[in-house]
Amino acid sequence: MSTVTFNFFAKYLNTSPSARGGVVRRMQQQASEAYHPSKDFWQRMNVALASDRRTTRDGAAVTACAQNNTDPRRAAHFDAVAAAWGKLHHRWDDATAVLEPMRALPIGPLTIGVKPTFVERFSDGRIEVVLVRLAVGELGRDVKHAILRMLELAYPDTTTVFVDVRRGVVLTNSGKRLDHLDPWIQSEAAGLAHLLQDDAA
């Protein structure tokens, strides 16, 4: 059984069928290379976001990351994220951070490592499992809903949340029946597993 990351599978879902082979090969090549933070465009901002949730929870760490950035390639992107997060983080003002480990989600022939960006618990006991997207490219509607569905499968009895920071959009599974996506998700997982097996052959 092949194992892929949550981001790997989401990117695969958001890629047109004709381009998937090339995308899978590039993602596999990147995964096989030694990780170096300097090659990870969003590494510093992701660290700042995690710090914000664990410490002051007021967006200051994200703002500081943008202000301290010296890479001109990242400047406009980091500034846009900091400005948007300054408004979005208030959703969790009345919550506290919860540590949750990554979960292994079996879907057909694949195992998907599901790791939320952060998890929050409100005073009424409600838990939100949150995935934050910083990148510019927009995900399709079905892909966003598939992300919410996989989060709720991995973390049952929670509110699952997808945050598109660049667009200031917050989507949740509240009031949605997303299980109708299961056959599509399973079919796509089988297709990705087949591609991975072909590349490994």
Please report where in the chains the tokens 């001109």 appear, as a residue.
72
Q: What is the dihedral of CA 18, 188, 21, 145, to 10 degrees?
A: 70
**Residue 199 confidence (pLDDT):** 60
Q: Facing residues of 95 across strands? A: 122
Written as six digits, the tokens of 7 are: 């981001």
Using CA atoms, how far apart are residues 195 and 35, in angstroms rounded to an integer? 24
Helix H or strand E segment including 104? strand 103-107
Q: What share of the chain is helix, strand, coil (3-state, %, to 5)?
A: 55, 20, 25
Architecture, CATH, for domain 2-200: Alpha-Beta Complex (3.90)
- Cβ-contact 113, 5 below 8 angstroms: yes
The per-residue DSSP string of 15-77 comes to: S-GGGHHHHHHHHHHHHHSPP-GGG-TTHHHHHHHHHHHHTT-SSHHHHHHHHH---HHHHHH
138/26: higher pLDDT: 138
Categorize the per-residue pLDDT at 31 as very low, low, confident or very high, splitting at 50, 70 and 90: low
Tell me the percentage of the chain whose pLDDT exceeds 90.
81
**Residue 197 confidence (pLDDT):** 81
Per-domain residue ranges of the chain: 2-200
